[in-house]
Amino acid sequence: MSIQVANLSLDPPVMLAPMAGITDLPFRRLVARFGAGLVVSEMVASGEMVTARPSVQARARVDLGLGSAGLTSVQLAGREPGPMAEAARLVAGLGAQIIDINMGCPAKKVTGGLSGSALMRVPDHALRLIEAVVGAVSVPVTLKMRLGWDSDCLNAADLARRAAAAGVRMVVVHGRTRMQFYKGRADWAAIAAVRGAVTIPVVANGDIASVAAARQALAQSGAAGVMVGRGAQGAPWRLAEIAHALHGTPAPAVPYGAARADLVAEHYEAMLGFYGRDLGLRIARKHLGWYADVAGAEPGLRPALMVAPDPAAALALIRSGFAATDAQSEALAEARAEADAERAAA
């Protein structure tokens, strides 16, 4: 099974969500290597992209790693049609295979500037942005949004209908309103209204962190695929696990013990190479923490990784700490799978 977006086939229909500060090139490459139908870049601010010096714009090709991390979509955020259109042309020229429009980010620094999910409060203006981006590029344009701004503004189905008429080729819906941020549980059933409003593919997003959750999200929403965000943190193989269970793709070789230590070390060194030693050391800490959490590592490993003074110390902790989690990791994974299945059946 695959999702057709213009001339592109998203196979399997399991995708990595854009996450600021997380879905950088090293992480997207790792997820794509395990198996994903699409990986999406961190959000790119259209105004900053357009006003940047040519040298900075050219650097974006390297930073985004277009063409080197599987089928890649670049997500743009902004509030004005002109800069959004120009930014779309720029990133398409750099090699973006899909342009995604951000109308789902709930962060105050984004919505305060009438970007992200704040655009759902002004659908006529949101449509002008959509029309500008679609008219600016020949690559497919997609839209990511929420159910609405709040419980009194649940307009995802109407906005999706208008977006599809304007030329958007796929819609991703996070099953919460903006005012919910990430609280409570995603309402996958509410996405069904969007699915019923359009003929283009609809993808479900929000709280999809396991095979059981993905299966339930598809059943409740009627969506054509799922997009995984936080569920991939510390588990870049998660998308491949879901794709295998739901669509029969090859099962990923989930690493345990020494193999997991090797993978974490590889990711860590890739981040150091991408960002440079000092910045990479800081940015990598959150990933190391997630790996420790998912692996069920000894309680002392996570805090030790957070304060490792240099790469050599961090790598030594990775080698010793994760190599000792073999049996613990498998047992924890089985327990979590059982718990997810029980929650999905409830």
Q: What is the mean pLDDT of residues 168-197?
A: 97
SS3 251: coil
Residues belonging to the active site? 105
Task: Enumerate the known binding-site residues for FMN.
Answer: 18-20, 75, 144, 174, 229-230
pLDDT in tens, 287-333: 999 999 998 888 899 999 999 999 999 999 999 999 876 545 555 55
Long-range pairs for 299-303 at CB < 8 Å and ≥24 separation? none
Question: Of 29, 35, 126, 38, nearest to 80 (Cα)?
Answer: 126
Q: Average pLDDT over the chain, rounded to whole?
A: 91
**Confidence band for 159, pLDDT divided at 50, 70 and 90:** very high
How many DSSP H helices and E strands does the chain contain? 15, 11
Q: Which CATH topology does 3-247 take?
A: TIM Barrel (3.20.20)
Write down the pLDDT at residue 300.
93
Does residue 113 carry a pLDDT above 80? yes
> What is the model's pTM?
0.91
Q: Is the pLDDT of residue 202 over 90?
A: yes
Numbered residues of the known binding site: 18-20, 75, 144, 174, 229-230
Q: From the centroid of its chain, how far is CA 286? A: 16
21: closest CA among 43, 3, 4?
A: 43
Q: Does the pLDDT at position 346 exceed 70? A: no
The band of 165, judged by pLDDT with boundaries at 50, 70 and 90, is very high
**Res. 65 pLDDT band, cuts 50 70 90:** confident
49: burial class by Cβ within 10 Å (0-12, 13-18, 19+)?
buried
Q: What is the structure's pLDDT at 260?
A: 94
Domain boundaries, the chain: 3-247, 258-327
pLDDT of amino acid 54: 79
